[in-house]
Chains A and B, each alone.
Chain A
């Protein structure tokens, strides 16, 4: 009897302790969530205020009279639609291109035998270590020779050949069983046929992961457009919002509206594909 009572009070105590611990975990999770999200919430709220209210009541997160016209003003005051279109174009072409070039090379490294294969692969790995900024000057002069300065092709070309993508896809292709290739070869299928009809469909998750990364890099890139593009009509969205900041140095509500609109596509894509984002990041960190 005594034991039973003791036991009951002990489990109650444990449950209480677990409850308490869970409460603390939630509290911490919430605090971090607020710190993470607050700047975005503030951006949204500031984009609906005017220059006076933005700082008078800077922590009033739900503005009294939201000024929706800030959003349309952005499109009138700078060629925002052009910036948007330019970014969509550059992002699409460089993502599609880098998927093609990386998957072709990855297939060669994973499934084809050729002399120098290992050494070339090491070279790819080594170039992953070179910081982009260390070579941006000769890249610029090369583009100048190719007459590609002030053209979107410069951005697309620089983005197209990323050794990281080759590495990521190779790791995935290697795991695919080799007898698939063998039997297709015996049936008289060409290498390109095997690649396109067997390997690529199987590699969808890896391709999606690389595609998302590539898209993100391209959309968020600021330094390359800054170097290569000096004509306003060629600007990408990241340059566009910065340009807007310079033009309207003090007009915070409009700048915040422009920034919000620059983030929307990425956030939508992220919410749809966050599983791939997070898995991709996790894979690079733990198996790198």
Chain B
């Protein structure tokens, strides 16, 4: 019996083996180990010490954690909607039948293929006191433009601007592909009903795009909770703690200060936040996404 089933299915499991072993060792085991570590105090050298819920309790009173979480929320609430609105507008433009449109599309995607660390370094230089951003601002009549990355209130918006700049091309390409899938006959029907451009956009284009918009919202929120490279290149969490975000704080706690237990607890909180947000969206999807 056993020999027979090995003969029958063995090949399949052999094909599966490399990736499955990898998945078990480097993803599934870490998910569980991360949970375990979050209940311990551990500096990576001395023995692991079980402390129960202490790490989680500590997070409640940890100012830096709260600030990082709030920064992340602020970042998400601003960047995700703005990126998607701008992407829809760009996707509509990309759909225009004009000469050379393909070349435009190729260039719009540029920011997305480049490393965020490189992008962060370029924009970091552009945002300096006498950098090009302020030169442009002075040119259009702002007499005293701010030192963006040195300001506690403007550093995070500067980082947000960069991520919007980076994200629009990517989402526009997805939305553009979605536009091709909206059935033509719906537009024709709307025209017969006397719908104008705006009405056609609201009643045909948007519902037709809703699954793609949904995808963009979900992936946008997930990636905005994972922002790290841009922050590292532009501000290193500063000035003060004004651009500290969750992953940056987790990285610092674990790999700079060797608080592996506390950092694991934060990682789990991050995991749960992303998980809940995704579930909530899957639920809400029924209300506004039409397939």
* Residues in A lying within 8 Å of B, measured CB to CB: 22, 25-26, 28-29, 32-33, 35-40, 42-43, 46, 55-56, 58-59, 100-102, 104-105, 107-109, 112-115, 117, 120, 123-124, 127, 129-142, 144, 157-158, 160-161, 163, 166, 191, 195, 216, 219-220, 222-223, 226-227, 238, 241-242, 245, 252, 255-256, 259, 262-263, 266-267, 270-271, 274, 277-278, 281-286, 288
Contact = CB atoms under 8 A, between A and B. Distances in A.
- Which 10 A-B pairs give the minimum distances between C-beta atoms? A161-B22, A285-B174, A282-B177, A138-B33, A138-B30, A220-B115, A135-B30, A134-B271, A114-B12, A108-B15
B186 interface: no
Interface stretch (B55-63, B130-138, B152-160): B130-138
Nearest to A107: B15
A120 B118 contact: no
B16 A37 contact: no
Contacts of B2: none
A131 B225 contact: yes
B215 A288 contact: yes
A252 B109 contact: no
A115 B75 CA distance: 45
B39 interface: no
A58 B34 contact: no
Interface class of chain A by DSSP: helix
B109 to A, nearest CB: 6
B198 to A, nearest CB: 15
Interface residues of B, number: 91
Contacts of B176: 282
A160 B22 contact: yes
B18 interface: yes
A36 B44 CA distance: 44
B254 A105 contact: no
A263 B115 contact: yes
A263 B122 CA distance: 12
B80 interface: no
A220 B118 CA distance: 9
Given A135-B30, A241-B121, 7 more contacts: A39-B126, A130-B31, A131-B222, A133-B250, A144-B44, A161-B27, A278-B105
